[in-house]
C-alpha cells in the first residue's frame, strides 16, 4: 500500500505552515544560543517590539500592508499556473503612476485623489506585468525569465526617471517633489492615537479589502473559475473553450495591479514622495508570503502579518540585544522564507505517514477472546 495520501485541508493550510515556521524558529534559536543570548528572551523581545506598544505595532501594520499586496500579486498569478516574481519591478513602476497623478492633482482632497492615484498605480504596474504575460501567451517566453528581466529594466528605468526627471533642483537626495498634505493618503493615527508617529495609513484598510476582493474574484466568479481551471490543466481549459492566452494576460495584469498598490502605502502615504529604491525587497518577500499562505487570501494575510512581525520585531531585537546583529536578523528571516517557501514540502511526508498510521490503527479489528468449549 502506498503511504501517499491526501491530507485534510486544515493540515495543508494551517498545520504544515505552522510546523515549517516552528522549525525555522528552532534553528534560528540555535543561532541565537550560539552567540550567548537567550532564545526565549529574544522571541519575547520580538513580540514586544511588534505588538507591545503603539509605535512598534504601527510599523508592524505598515510592513504587513506591503506584504499583503505583494503576496496577493503572486497568489493571483499562481492560481493561473503562473509564477510572477516580478512584483518588485511592478511595484516600482506603480510608484511612478502614483506620483505622477498625485503631483498632477496636488491640492485635491485625499478622498477624491486617492481613487485616481490607485487607478494610475494599478494601470502602470498592471501594464508592466502585462508585458511578460503577453510574451508568454503569444510568444511562449517563460514568465519567470521575463519577469526577472523586467525587474532589472524597471530598476534602471526608475533610477533614471527619479534622479534625472522627477528630482527637484533644490533637493540633494534622489526623490521626487513632495505630495501636498491635503492630497496625501492619511495616516491611521488621525483616528487611532495609539499609532501616532507611525507610517501605517489607510492603505492598511485597502489591503484588507483586497484580501476579500481576491477571495471573491478567485472563488466566486466565472473568471476566477476559468483562472483556476487553466492553472490546474491548461489543456482541459482550452478544450472547454477558454482562451488561455487571454487568461494569462489578464491574470498577469491583475497581479501587477495588486503589486502596484504598494505605491499607495509608500509613495502616496508613508513617504509622501517617490524615493529611489523604495520597494526595498517587498516584491520578493511577497513570494514567500504567497507560498506560505498557500495562495489563499486568509493565508496570505496571516503570512504577511508574520513577516511584518519579523521585520519590526527584528529591528527591536537588534536594538535591545547588541550581540544579535542585523545580519543575524536577516538570517532568521531567510530561514523562515527557506522553510516556508523552497522547503515547504519537507515535512509533508512525515505528516502523511503519521496520518496514514493513525488511520490504519483505527481500521484494525479489535481482537476478541475465544470461548473455550
pLDDT digits (tens, 9 = 90+) for 4-13: 567 777 777 7
Distance of CA 230 to the CA centre of its chain: 23
Q: How far apart are CA 366 and CA 294, in angstroms?
A: 39
Answer whether residue 230 is part of any domain. Answer: yes
Instruction: Single out the residue of 283, 280, 285, 279 nearest to residue 96, CA to CA.
Output: 279
Question: Which of the residue ranges 3-12, 232-241, 290-299 would you say has the lowest mean pLDDT?
Answer: 3-12
Range of the domain at 152: 66-309
Residue 332 belongs to a domain: no
> At 182, which CATH number?
1.10.3470
Residue 342: inside a domain: no
Q: Indicate whether 370 belongs to any domain.
A: no
* Positive or negative torsion for Cα 327, 330, 336, 337: negative
Question: What is the DSSP track for 27-78?
Answer: HHHHHHHHTT--HHHHHHHHHHHHHSSHHHHHHHHHHHHHHHHHHHHHHHHH
- The total of structural domains in the chain comes to 1
Q: What is the pTM of this model?
A: 0.91
Buried/exposed code over 75-108 (b: 16+ C-beta within 10 A; e: otherwise): bbbbbbbbebbbbbbbbbbbbbbbbbbbbebbeb
Residue 185 lies in a domain: yes
Q: What is the pLDDT of residues 20-67, one digit of tens each?
A: 888 888 888 898 898 888 999 999 999 999 999 999 999 999 999 999
Q: Does the residue 18 lie in any domain?
A: no
Residue 7 lies in a domain: no
Band (353; pLDDT cuts 50, 70, 90): confident
Residue 180, domain member (yes or no)? yes
Rounded to whole angstroms, the Cα distance separating 275 from 185 reads: 16
Amino acid at each position: 500500500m502506498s503511504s501517499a495520501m491526501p491530507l485534510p485541508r486544515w493540515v495543508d493550510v494551517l498545520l504544515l505552515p505552522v510546523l515549517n515556521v516552528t522549525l525555522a524558529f528552532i534553528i534560528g534559536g540555535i543561532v541565537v544560543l550560539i552567540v550567548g543570548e537567550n532564545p526565549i528572551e529574544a522571541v519575547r523581545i520580538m513580540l514586544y517590539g511588534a505588538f507591545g506598544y503603539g509605535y512598534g505595532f504601527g510599523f508592524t501594520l505598515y510592513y504587513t500592508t506591503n506584504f499583503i499586496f505583494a503576496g496577493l500579486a503572486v497568489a493571483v498569478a499562481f492560481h493561473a499556473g503562473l509564477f510572477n516574481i516580478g512584483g518588485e519591478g511592478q511595484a516600482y513602476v506603480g510608484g511612478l503612476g502614483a506620483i505622477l497623478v498625485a503631483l498632477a492633482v496636488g491640492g485635491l482632497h485625499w478622498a477624491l485623489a486617492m481613487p485616481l492615484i490607485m487607478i494610475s498605480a494599478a494601470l502602470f504596474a498592471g501594464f508592466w506585468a502585462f508585458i511578460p504575460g503577453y510574451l508568454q501567451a503569444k510568444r511562449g517566453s517563460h514568465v519567470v525569465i521575463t519577469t526577472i528581466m523586467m525587474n532589472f529594466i524597471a530598476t534602471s528605468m526608475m533610477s533614471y526617471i527619479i534622479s534625472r526627471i522627477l528630482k527637484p533642483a533644490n533637493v540633494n537626495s534622489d526623490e521626487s517633489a513632495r505630495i501636498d498634505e491635503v492630497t496625501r493618503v492619511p495616516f491611521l493615527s488621525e483616528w487611532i492615537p495609539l499609532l501616532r508617529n507611525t507610517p501605517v495609513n489607510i492603505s492598511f484598510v485597502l489591503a484588507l479589502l483586497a484580501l476579500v476582493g481576491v477571495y471573491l474574484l478567485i472563488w466566486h466568479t466565472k473568471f476566477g473559475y476559468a483562472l483556476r481551471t487553466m492553472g490546474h490543466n491548461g489543456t482541459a481549459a482550452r478544450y472547454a473553450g477558454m482562451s488561455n492566452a487571454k487568461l494569462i494576460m489578464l491574470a498577469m495584469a491583475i497581479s501587477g495591479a495588486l503589486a502596484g498598490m504598494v505605491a499607495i502605502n509608500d509613495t502616496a502615504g508613508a513617504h509622501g514622495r517617490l524615493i529611489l529604491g523604495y520597494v526595498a525587497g517587498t516584491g520578493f518577500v511577497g513570494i514567500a508570503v504567497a507560498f506560505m499562505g498557500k495562495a489563499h487570501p486568509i493565508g496570505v494575510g496571516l503570512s504577511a502579518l508574520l513577516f511584518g512581525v519579523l521585520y519590526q520585531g527584528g529591528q527591536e531585537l537588534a536594538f535591545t540585544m547588541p550581540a544579535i546583529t542585523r545580519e543575524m536578523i536577516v538570517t532568521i528571516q531567510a530561514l523562515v522564507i527557506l522553510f516556508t517557501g523552497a522547503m515547504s514540502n519537507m515535512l509533508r511526508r512525515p505528516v502523511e505517514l503519521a496520518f496514514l498510521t493513525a488511520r490504519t490503527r483505527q481500521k484494525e479489528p479489535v481482537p476478541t477472546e475465544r470461548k473455550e468449549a
